[in-house]
Structure 1
Amino acid sequence: MTARPRAIRSTRLGDLAGMMLAGGIVLSATLTGCAAQPASGAGTQPEAPAAEATGTPAEELRLGYFANVTHAPALVGLEEGLIEDALGDTELSTQVFNAGPAAIEALSAGAIDATYIGPNPAINTFVASGGQSARIVAGAASGGAALVVQPGIESADDLAGTNLASPQLGNTQDVALRTWLGEEGYETSTSGGGDVTISPTENAQTLTLFQSGELDGAWLPEPWVSRLVVDAGAEVLVDEADLWEDGEFPTTVLLVRADFLAEHPETVRALVAGHVASVDWLAENPDAAADVINARLTADAGKGLSDAVIDRALEHVEFTFDPHADTFEQLLQDGVDAGTSKQGDIDGLFDLSALNAVLEDSGEESVSAASLGTE
């Protein structure tokens, strides 16, 4: 895979980072999850930046996210009350999703107003709607994805005839796997078969199948990379960060329904202010982050992560409100080449005006939309 374009700006957290992403495109999927409400957590809580904008505040904001830590700005923002505080009188309700397609279906149906999600489903819904469905208003996480394999698989040459998993057909890691395999000379098919079989599989099941020897490997986001390495003896064959210039590529963004943004820009700016406060909290509280993340994971998924898994996962993800917009043309082309995306124009995908207004109020540097929308 050729080196990717360099992203504009990010917030490096040193030893801190976050975990899992499970994005996807609008394919068949079942909406699952439960409502979740903010609770108090550990650590020093920063004051959310001012959230002022013209427009009518919404009575309610319905926010989607996944119970994994590449969605840590959502997890921390809810657990520490940062997003709720920034929204003021607007009621916050939340929905936990297991996969990107379900979140996109909910967003498209008007069942939620915003969601944390992977870049490829955000691209796909924008292209499929002719630019009418949604806007990316901020980044959330960068990095934290890899191809892990059974011991004994030492290079791409060893993958012929193997069975590899991805989280969801057309999700961000699925596209990355198909793209990389194509560049290594392998043919794959979205309907199964090919030189290497790719089996879209729910992440927890991937761990079980890998442990039983029914899978040879998987391209996954954190914490599932670390789960397979720590709990199942997997080895990292490809760290996706090595395929992008400076190791920077988006794994999670904050996506808002376009109609909601048009009707309630003040509320969107408040959401973004809470999101920025959450990213700042993660940067300022590395020692407390794992506990707060695990507290939210336990509330949402019933169980947190072991210390070994979460520590390893946190070393491989960077939390940032920069969406790395200059990578999105490549991400679109990768999806087209993989057979999971349609070619289209993504000009207008980004509206970073609320983000940059919040950053300006805080005296921070603005973020670029890479000529793909409003700054």
Structure 2
Amino acid sequence: MLNIQSGSTEFWRAWNHLLRPVSSRVETPRVKLSRRWKVLAVAAAAVLGVGGLPTAGAASAAGASPVHIRFSTGGATPPNEMEAAIFSPELQKKGILKGYDKDYTLSILTASKGTPQTLSLLAADQIDIGTLGFSTIALGQAKHAIKGGFSVVVAQFVDAHPGYGANAYMVLKNSGISGPADLKGKVIGTNQLGSASDIVLRAWLVNHKLDPRKDVQFVESGYATQQAALNSGRVALGTFVQPFEAMEQASGKAKILFTTAEATGETAAIAVVARNNFLKEHPKAVKSFLADWVAGLQWLAKPENRTEAIAIMSRITGTPTNVLGLVYGVKGKDYYRDLKGCPSAKALQNGIDAMVKVGDLKTRVDVSKLIDASYLPYPC
């Protein structure tokens, strides 16, 4: 499994260079790149099937097995998005992933710019399956962004499910901010305009009679950098998903101003979608992939495996095990995850309806028509 962290400007210079036609590359002045980013750019090309390298299903088309699946995250890590833990080397070695290397192989690209980047990759046929936010699901459908369409095939987590954890929007304890009125004229940190957590944030502002376009200023910053932005004073409010919320809570410097529960209610911030053309071409591989997804998710959720699961997530994220231990598997702190992988139409719809409220979507999208749970191993 290849996992490429693609947040560097130099990486994207290399990546854009590789995306050009060969003739264009010859005529264009040579881009000077460090050896490290040349290697990563070529690796990314291998993952996404550009520059003459194998694309998804190439082995299958040649009559060989397994099918190669190109997957992109939405930019988050466990215990937010779970694929890195599910398909980790640790679970592979345990034999939990029965179809891995038999029915399918997997490459994972990290979309450091959030789910809008994942949608762009799906639309360009550079990945087959990926994590989208409810916002990018709605926009992708409204704009018919993906040729042949797409389907929601497996859940990630539900934010603010009753009795479970919720994404938090935090301010410094010494900031003097105690309510929405105190944010007027302030700079607010969001991971990316138009993302799921950004829609929730702006819906909360609208609920409290603040105009997101006039009353506040937004600064885009990845989830991993929200803590530094808030603590340094660059933003007055930061957007925190797990495990970064737990890390900021542990610092003792910040407090929660509001959560998703107060903004939109129970919301499926993200879910996994697949291009319909890929589903039709490789149903067996997708079913095997999702069977392993559910098996891995269930193994990670077992109380007797909690210590090892936290250790796996700590290795992946760099978050100390004691911080993850404050969240993962702790009811009231951790997110709700359906252990059969079943997507929640209601929770996704709550987020999409919030888009209409803030003016990001003119016409309501009925997400229930996009859900296809037939590839999951258990009935929903």
TM-score, structure 1 length as denominator? 0.72
Tell me the residue number matched to 1:327: 347
The structure whose RCO (Cα within 8 Å, separation 6+) is larger is: 1
How far apart in 2 are the matches of 1:83 and 1:350? 26
- The structure-2 alpha-carbon separation of the partners of 1:329 and 1:204, relative to structure 1 and needing over 3 Å to count, comes to closer
1:244-278 deviations in Å (ceiling 9; x for gaps): 66xx4313311111110121111111111011112
**Is residue 280 of structure 2 the alignment partner of residue 262 of structure 1?**
yes
Q: 1:165 to 1:215 in 2, by over 3 A?
A: same
What's the counterpart of residue 85 of structure 1? Answer: 98
The equivalences for 1:1-375 within 5 A come to: 59-65=67-73, 66-79=75-88, 80-81=91-92, 85-87=98-100, 88-98=102-112, 99-129=114-144, 132-143=148-159, 144-151=166-173, 152-189=176-213, 194-231=214-251, 233-243=253-263, 248-284=266-302, 285-297=305-317, 304-314=318-328, 315-320=333-338, 321-346=341-366, 348-355=369-376, 358-359=377-378, 366-367=379-380
**Identical-pair percentage:** 22
Whole-Å separation in 2 of the counterparts to 1:119 and 1:349? 12
Q: Note if contact 1:71-1:252 (Cα within 8 Å) is conserved in structure 2.
A: no
Q: Indicate the SS of the match to 2:99.
A: helix
Tell whether the 8 Å contact from 1:74 to 1:116 is kept in structure 2 after alignment: no
* C-alpha distance 287-244 of structure 1, shift in aligned 2 (>3 A): farther
What amino acid is the match of 2:372? D
Letter in 1 for 2:167: A
> C-alpha separation between the residues in 1 aligned to 2:79 and 2:194?
18
The residue that corresponds to 2:24 in the other structure is none
Larger radius of gyration: 2
Per the normalisation by structure 2, the TM-score is 0.71
Alignment check: 8 A CA contact 1:138 1:352 kept: yes
One-letter amino acid matched to 1:169: L
Q: 1: distance between equivalents of 2:110 and 2:126?
A: 13
CA 1:142–1:57 in structure 2 vs 1: closer, same or farther (change >3 Å)?
A: farther
* CA distance in structure 2 between the aligned counterparts of 1:119 and 1:333, rounded to whole angstroms: 10
How far off is 1:109 after superposition?
1.1
CA contact (8 A) 1:72 1:293 kept: no
How many residues are paired up?
Answer: 301
- The aligned residue for residue 48 of structure 1 is none
Give the Cα–Cα distance (whole angstroms) in 2 for the partners of residues 137 and 119 of structure 1: 13
Q: Unaligned stretches of 5+ in structure 2? A: 1-14, 17-36, 45-63, 160-165
User: Which segments of 5 or more consecutive residues in structure 1 lack a partner in the other structure?
Assistant: 1-29, 37-55, 298-303, 360-365, 368-375
Residue 85 of structure 1 aligns to a residue whose secondary structure is coil
Aligned amino acid, residue 126 of structure 1: Q
Q: Distance in 2 between matches of 1:145 and 1:86?
A: 33
| Conserved? CA contact 1:169–1:340, under 8 Å | no
One-letter amino acid matched to 1:104: L
Deviations 1:12-53 (A, max 9, x none): xxxxxxxxxxxxxxxxxx9998869xxxxxxxxxxxxxxxxx
CA contact (8 A) 2:134 2:269 kept: yes
Deviates more, 1:101-110 or 1:220-229: 220-229
Change beyond 3 A, Cα 1:242–1:229:
same
Structure 2 CA distance for partners of 1:154 and 1:112, relative to 1, 3 Å: same
Aligned to 1:373: none
Cα RMSD of the aligned pairs, angstroms, is 2.9
8 Å Cα contact 2:264-2:354 kept in structure 1: no
Task: Give the AA of the match of 1:352.
Answer: A
Runs of 4+ in 1 over 6 A off after TM superposition: 30-36
